[in-house]
Amino acid sequence: MIELKNVSKTFNKGKANEVNALKNTSIKIEKGEFVVVIGENGSGKSTFLNLVAGNIYPSEGNIYLQGEDVTKLPEFGRSRWIARVFQNPLSGTASELSILTNFRLASLRTQRKKMVIGTNRKFVEKVKEQVSSLNMGLENKLEQSMGSLSGGQRQALTLLMSVMDEAKILLLDEPTAALDPRSAQLILKTADQLITQYGLTAVLVTHNLKDAYTHGNRILQFSEGEIIRDISSSEKEKIQQTDLYAWFE
Ligand SMILES: Nc1ncnc2c1ncn2[C@@H]1O[C@H](COP(=O)(O)OP(=O)(O)OP(=O)(O)O)[C@@H](O)[C@H]1O
């Protein structure tokens, strides 16, 4: 669960270049909801994600994760709840290391499991089982380096790595922007599958309105630091894809 209560974020306060990136925003995203965030450039989407992740702190207001007030908790303190996937498939994994080692590092970094570096049969089996659920045939290539994979394969593994243990919240920051259409669809399909499988609360930021229409069960539209549209899952069922384009006119 993610909740913002009267959250504002002002950059460069009191200076000529002051920006009100988020204005007195209150929103609650329940467990299991998959929210898609859309909005023009500079409307506050990344600011919203950064505030949730703890990269930046609000100028005013409070942020709650899983019901706990995390307003002053730094990013590393929130990592047990939050998994985040970025636009660049190269970020988040080490190219020269094997798939398996990357999974080991991910699980050590988050300290979600007391895994030891070295052979741990149970861990390998768990990774194999999870990787095979992607249906990409990568479960038999766990010793292959991450750098030898395609951007789509790598992003799918990054996604899987990030949610495998105890993360409850998945933040997807334009995860398909650098991918070809087929790989992009694969990633979003994987995200759908993992969100359901792990019962995650998820937020996807995208400029792709077709994806916003096809994925998730709630849409938030940001404009000039405010949420100007909040489309619930029942309302979403009644709209057409073309309606989303009209919101930007
Ligand atoms: N660290 C920062 N310092 C100063 N201004 C910032 C900072 N981060 C964001 N802003 C400003 O806040 C506003 C909202 O930016 P934000 O990145 O949240 O928009 P966005 O909706 O994610 O845009 P895009 O679609 O282009 O990624 C913009 O005017 C931006 O220039």
| Torsion sign over Cα 44, 48, 53, 56 | positive
The per-residue pLDDT for 38 is: 98
Q: In this prediction, what percent of the chain has a pLDDT beyond 90?
A: 65
| For range 128-156, the mean pLDDT | 91
Spacing, Cα 17 to ligand 1 middle (Å): 12
CB 225 within 8 A of CB 23: yes
Atom of ligand 1 nearest to the CA of 50: 18
CA of 50 to the centre of ligand 1 (A): 10
Torsion of CA 84, 86, 92, 98, to 10 degrees: 110
Rounded-to-integer distance, Cα 69 and Cα 24, Å: 17
Query: For residues 241 and 62, what is the distance between their CA atoms, to the nearest angstrom?
Result: 34
State mean pLDDT over 212-221. 96
ipTM surpassing 0.95: yes
Rounded distance between C-alpha atoms, residue 68 and residue 2, angstroms = 9
Q: Give nearest CA residue, ligand 1 atom 18.
A: 44
61: phi > 0 → left, psi -120 to 50 → alpha, else beta; which? left
Atom of ligand 1 nearest to the CA of 174: 27
Residue 118 has pLDDT above 80, yes or no: no
The boundaries of the domain holding residue 191 are 2-246
Residue with CA at minimum distance from ligand 1 atom 4 = 11
- Measured in Å, residue 1 CA sits from the centre of ligand 1 at 24
Whose CA is closest to 2, among 76, 75, 92, 71? 71
* DSSP letter, residue 128: H
- Segment 174-199, tens digit of pLDDT: 988 888 888 888 889 989 988 998 89
Q: How much distance in Å is there from the Cα of 31 to the middle of ligand 1?
A: 27
Q: Using CA atoms, how far apart are residues 172 and 138, in angstroms rounded to an integer?
A: 22
User: Can you give the three-state secondary structure of 141-159, one letter per residue?
Assistant: CCCCEHHHCCHHHHHHHHH
Q: Are 160 and 83 in contact (CB under 8 A)?
A: no
Task: Kindly report the protein residue whose alpha carbon is nearest to atom 19 of ligand 1.
Answer: 42
45 Cα to the center of ligand 1, angstroms: 8
Could you tell me the distance, in angstroms and rounded to a whole number, from the CA of residue 46 to the centre of ligand 1?
7
129: left (phi over 0), alpha (psi -120 to 50) or beta: alpha
In this predicted model, what pLDDT tens digit does every residue of 33-77 receive, in sequence order?
A: 999 999 999 999 999 999 999 999 999 999 999 999 999 999 989
**Residue whose pair of structure tokens reads 């789509």 in the numeric block:** 152
Q: How far is CA 30 from CA 51, 119, 162, 217, in A?
A: 17, 38, 20, 11
Confidence band for 111, pLDDT divided at 50, 70 and 90 = low
Atom of ligand 1 nearest to the CA of 48: 18
How many domains are contained in the chain?
1
What's the whole-number average pLDDT of the chain? 90
Residue with the smallest CA separation from ligand 1 atom 28 is 42
Query: 102: domain CATH number?
Result: 3.40.50.300
Amino acid letter, residue 226:
E
Q: How close is the Cα of 114 to the center of ligand 1, in Å?
A: 38
| Residues with C-beta less than 6 Å from any ligand 1 atom | 11-12, 19, 21, 39, 41-47, 222
Contact 161, 106 (CB under 8 A): yes
Query: Best substitution site from 7, 11, 20 to test ligand 1's pocket, by max atoms within 8 Å of Cβ?
Result: 11
Burial label, 162 (beta-carbon count in 10 A; 0-12, 13-18, 19+):
buried
Q: How far is the CA of 226 from the centre of ligand 1 (A)?
A: 13
Distances, alpha carbon 244 to alpha carbons 106, 208, 215, in Å: 37, 10, 13
pLDDT band at 209 (very low <50, low <70, confident <90, very high): very high
Q: Which atom of ligand 1 is nearest to the CA of 40?
A: 25
